[in-house]
Amino acid sequence: MKDILLAYARAVKSLTERGVLWHLIWPSLVAAVIWLGVGVAFWQPMVDAVMAFIGSWDWAANQMSTSDLGAAFVLVMVKISLAVLFLPLVYVTAALIVAVFALPMMLEKVAVTRYSDLEMRKGGTVSGSAFNAVVAVVLFILAMLVSLPFWLIPGVGLVVSLMLTAWMNKKAFGYDALMLHADKGEMTRLRSRHSGAMLGLGVGCALLAYVPIVNLFAPAFCGLAFVHYLLEALRRDRTGNLSSPSHGTY
pLDDT, mean of residues 57-85: 77
* pLDDT of 198 over the 70 cut: yes
* pLDDT of 35 over the 80 cut: yes
pLDDT, mean of residues 58-76: 75
* pLDDT of 248 over the 80 cut: no
* pLDDT of 185 over the 80 cut: yes
Res 21: pLDDT: 79
Average pLDDT, the chain: 86
Per cent of the chain over pLDDT 70 is 94
Res 71: pLDDT: 78
User: Is the separation of the CB atoms in 234 and 182 below 8 Å?
Assistant: yes
Res 119: pLDDT: 94
* pLDDT of 7 over the 60 cut: yes
Res 242: pLDDT: 62
**Confidence category of residue 243, pLDDT binned at 50, 70, 90:** low
What confidence tens digit (pLDDT) does each residue in 145-181 have? 888 777 777 778 788 888 998 999 999 999 999 999 9
Which is higher by pLDDT, 115 or 73? Answer: 115
Per cent of the chain over pLDDT 90 is 40
**Burial (CB count within 10 angstroms: exposed 0-12, middle 13-18, buried 19+), residue 32:** middle
User: Is the separation of the CB atoms in 233 and 190 below 8 Å?
Assistant: yes
* pLDDT of 66 over the 60 cut: yes
Buried b (16+ CB within 10 A) or exposed e, 215-250: bbbbbbbbbbbbbbbbbbbbbbbeeeeeeebeeeee
Res 186: pLDDT: 96
